[in-house]
């Protein structure tokens, strides 16, 4: 389940955040929903961090797989018709 789906079905919880006053003024001027924008940015940051952690955790397996392909080629390459 994606983060956007997860947060959109739950109740919101008030929290305090520190925001650059210039950004906050621009958001108000442009009628940007600060809570929604913050939530979307946080969801994006979480997804990026999870991807980064996954890559770190699986680096050895990815390197091993890439080394195998470099040495032996793709396992089913002879069956490709294109």
What would the 3-class secondary structure string for the chain be? CCHHHHHHCCCCCCCCCCCCHHHHHHHHHCCCCHHHHHHHHHHHHHHHHHHHHHHHHHHHHHHHHHHHHHHHCCCCHHHCCC
pTM of the model: 0.69
Are residues 34 and 27 in contact, defined by beta-carbon separation less than 8 angstroms? yes
Residue 7 has pLDDT above 80, yes or no: no
pLDDT, position 1: 47
pLDDT tens for each residue of 11-70:
889 999 999 999 999 999 999 999 999 999 999 999 999 999 999 999 999 999 999 999
């Amino acid at each position: 389940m994606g983060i956007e789906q997860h947060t959109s079905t739950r109740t919101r919880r008030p929290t305090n955040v520190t925001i650059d006053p210039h950004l906050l003024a621009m958001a108000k001027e442009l009628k940007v929903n600060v809570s929604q924008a913050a939530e979307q940015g946080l969801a994006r940051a979480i997804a990026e961090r999870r991807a980064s952690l996954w890559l770190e955790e699986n680096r050895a397996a990815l390197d091993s797989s890439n080394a195998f392909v470099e040495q032996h080629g793709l396992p089913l390459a002879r069956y490709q018709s294109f």
